[in-house]
Amino acid sequence: MKQVLQVRLLVLLSSLAKAAKLHQEAVSCDSFQCNLEQGWAPRPNRSTLPGNSIEKCCRPTCKRWTCSKGYKAHPDYYNNVASSNSACCDRLCSTVPCNASFGVPTRMRNVPGKTHEECCKPLCSQHLCFGSWAPDPRKAHQAGSSNEECCTASCAALACDASKGYKYFLERYERAQPAKNPTDFCCQKTCPFYQEHCGEGRGMNLADESKMSMTVTERDFQNKCCEPKCSSVKCQAGYILDPTFLNYLVSKIAHGSEGCCLPTCKAFECPAGWMKYHEADNFVSPYLTKDDCCLPTCAVHKCGKGWFTSTVPTKLAKVSRSDRTCCEPSCAAAGCAAGLVLKPNAFNISSGSTCCEPEMCQELRSKRQQVKYCNSVAEEAKCNMSYDVHDVNRFSVAPCAWSSELKLCLMDSTSVLTDCGPL
């Protein structure tokens, strides 16, 4: 009994499975929807096809196709039932082979195109770059036909700023500018580039055009461009730098380096009769005079009325401008030794000379007359009124005296007088 039940159960189960299978085979794709939006189109004769799955009932459209490299999808093809680059994609220019001296420009690589004509353009190697443009070797093998595509800026396109001390490197004028420091490559440095670098006490003569246009380097600009300024001049002893010219180039100064310096009184030579005034040693002037640097001594003093130039060296060396210090008074106040009297012109002669004369001088002056020789006088009375002048040693005079023995008028040699005032 139990056995029978089991057999029936098995029969039942297997007939159920059979029924299910029959049912499945009986379902047709007719009732299966292929989603076009998702890239599925129904297979042809679908009504006759059994099945109810995408695989059995649908075929993929281009929408489900991924274009290979070098191809590009296009919405126009989305609903095409196909699965290939040729049916679903546009070919791109990047896949088109160009013949020699042609290439696909970068901007066209992703543009649809199939033919040489559509896609290939001449290579930059065929383009002539000139003027502000120079050939760019990196671009020679890419397609292009404009300066912008094929060339790189040449040195001519760069301004070598003369105001900053640059000038064009003529041999490189048409060459390509390097990416780094193009100015260093295209431009040369001239003196003014280094004008702030001459250093302490040196500078440049910017007005010297031929010098300033010289090409120089870091190493030689000092020698070629820079010159000393007055501030670096060493003045000779007794001179100091003229503060007015410190910042001037020596070459611009009249008289060169000497013109940078001013004399101090220390360097001044006082003329004869003037003495150095040491308190003025540091006095400075372009035109020093003896009055700036020296003091007059009595030697250059002009004695006033009633005063007489001295001959005493110690007196003459004194620094003074006063008559009292520098000059000799007249003989007026002089005293005379016994037997001597003041000369009659005592007021008019210096006390430094001989002020006094023998008393006899007055007799000669008032009572006698000068003769050439006493013995030329024949009469006694006239002989008593004459005197003779001798200039043997010093100026000397002697009265004449009558010799009664010889009956001759003779010079009285016992009374020779010296130092008489004017007779």
Binding residues for ligand NAG (CB under 6 A):
45, 99-100, 116, 344-345, 347-348, 380-381, 384, 402
> If phi over 0 gives left and psi between -120 and 50 gives alpha, with beta otherwise, what is residue 328?
beta
Give which of 70, 117, 118 is closest to 92, Cα–Cα.
70
- Pair 156, 131: CB distance under 8 Å: yes
Question: What are the phi and psi torsion angles at 34 (to 5°)?
Answer: -90, 130
The minimum distance between CB 19 and ligand NAG, in angstroms, equals 27
Q: Which residues have a Cβ under 8 Å from the Cβ of 175 and sit 6 or more positions away? A: 134, 154, 155, 185, 186
Q: Please state, as a whole number, how many other Cβ atoms lie within 10 Å of the Cβ of residue 77.
A: 17
Half-sphere exposure of 182 (CA within 13 A, CB side): 17
Distances from the Cα of 212 to the Cα of 103, 142, 221, angstroms: 50, 45, 10
Alpha carbon distance 260, 358 (integer Å): 68
Closer to ligand NAG by Cβ: residue 50 or 131: 50
Instruction: Return the beta strands (E) in 77-224 as ranges.
Output: 89-91, 102-103, 121-122, 133-135, 151-153, 166-168, 187-189, 202-204
Closer to ligand NAG by Cβ: residue 293 or 377: 377
* Radius of gyration over every alpha carbon of the chain, rounded to an integer in angstroms: 68
Closer to ligand NAG by Cβ: residue 5 or 381: 381
Closer to ligand NAG by Cβ: residue 60 or 344: 344
Q: Which residues have a Cβ under 8 Å from the Cβ of 114 and sit 6 or more positions away? A: 91, 96
Closer to ligand NAG by Cβ: residue 252 or 382: 382
The minimum distance between CB 98 and ligand NAG, in angstroms, equals 7
The minimum distance between CB 402 and ligand NAG, in angstroms, equals 6
The minimum distance between CB 129 and ligand NAG, in angstroms, equals 22
- Pair 168, 187: CB distance under 8 Å: yes
Closer to ligand NAG by Cβ: residue 53 or 404: 404
Closer to ligand NAG by Cβ: residue 71 or 308: 308
If you write DSSP's letter for every residue of 113-154 in order, what string do you get? --SHHHH-EEBGGGSPP-TTEEE-GGGTTSB--SHHHHEEEB
The minimum distance between CB 64 and ligand NAG, in angstroms, equals 22
The minimum distance between CB 51 and ligand NAG, in angstroms, equals 13
The minimum distance between CB 85 and ligand NAG, in angstroms, equals 23
The minimum distance between CB 364 and ligand NAG, in angstroms, equals 15
Closer to ligand NAG by Cβ: residue 128 or 381: 381
